[in-house]
Structure 1
Amino acid sequence: MGNCWSLQSRYPPESSTAPNPNNQLGSIQFSSGLSNARLIQNGNSTSLGHSSHSGGISRLFGPSSSNNFSTGNNTSTSLWGSENSQASRVRDEEEFPQGQILDVADLRAFTLAELRAATRNFRADTLLGEGGFGKVFKGLIEDKAAKKRGEGLTIAIKKLNSESRQGIAEWQSEVNFLGRLSHPNLVKLLGFGREDNELFLVYEFMHRGSLDNHLFGRGANVRPLSWDTRLKVMIGAARGLNFLHSLEKKIIYRDVKPSNILIDKTYAVKLSDFGLARSVTSPDQSHVSTQVMGTHGYAAPEYIATGHLYVKSDVYGFGIVLVEVLTGKRINDILRLSEKTSLRDWLKSNLLNRGKIRSSMDAKLEGKYPNNLALQVAELALKCIQAEPKVRPSMKEVVETLEQIEAANEKPADNSRKRVTRSRPVQQHGQPEPDSG
């Protein structure tokens, strides 16, 4: 199953000075929060490097070697052949499981011809989905050696809607953030393209698609997630957010929702879509002021009311995702159910009510989960969606709580666990479920 790139209704576009996509020459100034890094196209040469201003990527992330590279003569230059190689990045993830900031942007500049070849000229059957940014396609990159072996690299390609000013700003933000951030729970941005007035982003392909598709999708190819796998997915997403929040200059993700949580073949989880992400420029800064953007139901109340975006605004969105993972219901459906009361009161009356929790949990779980641990996840969700940001837990605390719940889930002495496993074995942590196609 491919990536599910869906964009639900967002708040009005954020005002920003977006570059002109029709400008064939000159530069695109990266002004979306992270840096003054820029993509400069002069004739047939493209380079991604530092701006001459003091606010570049190295300034934000700390000392760094130069991250300039060029693709002269309008041909792509792979940066995967030496220390910047894709294999090296995989090794880095193994050696740095807590994540790291790369000294050099690990990106490849793709030509339009390469992307057309990878997608068979963007054929309809390679289309994965469509959002505000534009369309997303599945592609296959083959070099001569890979062709001989019958192999290739499967990729996901975002093709910019050239009429979308916000799309261009989001494209800049993706390159700024994912170009140098490396973590097992962040999707890999492999490269970018800019040619014929069109912009592209190229990512690793996540074979099992999005959490949204697994929770809410329909059809023979959609397999419900077991309780163990849901715990694994929640922990992976929480670790990705915790990494962003633990940086010296914290990154606020701003778009926490199931469609941005992607799953690979082994059910490893990665956050995708950094188009709305913002950085906190100093340790003393409590929030970022910005026009309200995001997806209805996931945006924190203080952000909607004031435009002030806090690190713990992400925690609120994660709490909403926890509620959806438990119930198998979209948050907008739950909000309709709780329209006469607050979401927190609905949570207390249903998921935190021992008499009602069974009827409130996702029916696709078929009751195969430990009641006491489901209650603990619901309690964590309630803490995350508190109205006051200061009383919400940090993502570090969220990760620790979920890891404790997972550890209890794996204890054979857990009586509620025994009751579950007698009726039907539950998928154990770390074991992949059957492939969904």
Structure 2
Amino acid sequence: MFENLKEQPADKILALIEAFKADPRDGKIDLGVGVYKNAEGVTPVMRAVKAAEKKIWEEQITKSYTGLAGDPAYADAMVGLVLGDAVERGQVAAVATPGGTGAVRQAFELVKMANPAARVFYSDPTWPNHVSILNYLGMETQSYRYFDSETGGVDFEGMIADLKANLKAGDVVLLHGCCHNPTGANLNLVQWKEVVAVLNETGAIPMIDIAYQGFGDGLDADAEATRYVAANVPELLIAASCSKNFGIYRERTGLLMAVSADAAKTKVNQGSLAFLNRQNYSFPPDHGARIVTTILTDPALRADWAAELEEVRLGMLELRKQLAAELQRLTGSDRFAFLGEHRGMFSRLGTTPELVEKMRADSGIYMVGDSRMNIAGLNTKTVPILAQAIVDAGV
């Protein structure tokens, strides 16, 4: 049997990590790996997470399973965080998943189970694992225009034109709730409303991947679009991640939500989600979910978490502004002003793989070949180094 297996293509980001480790240069800068880092290059454990873990250690009396859907208190807390009062809780079926990736995978599985003929539309570009999972599942896919490399913004006219021309009833449109990965370029609320109008006109169903709530414009601001969509479409899937905003990457903590305007469908939706959990991994992991629940249901811990998250958000925003200003100083133009307007950890420079490789070879700057860079991989001292490398490479 094993002789029939084929070597799988190397993951580009993982390969980049290994290349960075092997580089002996002292001044090298890692902008490839997609995790938050502070100014010292460390992904810290948040204060509220430490406190919550201590509380759990002191109070927890069992490690028994919580249930196929996970702890209901976790679902309640996360539905509240993401959706606020946009819809009634009874309209939302939800299950805990191993990270946001698990939520994405289960969402695609649900689509395939509910409508095998559904096509999934994704932004060009999108997080590579979206497409990888869809291809593995054998689902039909189609991209829609999204990023304008010339302006560094959203090609909204192209996006709407593609959706209007190609969507059919029952298709699924994958959208990023905030902090678009890999570009950092986001729709504004007016544009979101137009997207919703197209979805309702065509009968297509939105699926929102919201992995960076709190990293862009703030916890509520980053959820505004998702809440608007939930309140204005008949059906919606949401894959949420706690990896970034709680800093619990290795705990693999996510939630999949199925929102229906018809609350009578929630029972069937909930049963279907639990069924998929059973088929893929039975009971979801609980430790990260319990950390999140403990924080979100304790007023003091929640306030401290929100305050530290805001420090993280503002720190990344300052790095963006510093980089845009330094590039303006070096080039004498506002060509890179979009970097200050992007939100979240990532920005896409919009340059070629050849120039990305030139920056790596000449200056030790490591970013993904499509020019996605992790702003959180910078600090105030390395921003000028990056800016000079961008100029020297002729980006």
Q: Normalization by structure 1: what TM-score?
A: 0.27
Q: Normalization by structure 2: what TM-score?
A: 0.29
Ranked by relative contact order (alpha carbons within 8 Å, sequence separation 6 or more), the top structure is: 2
Bigger fraction of residues in helix: 2
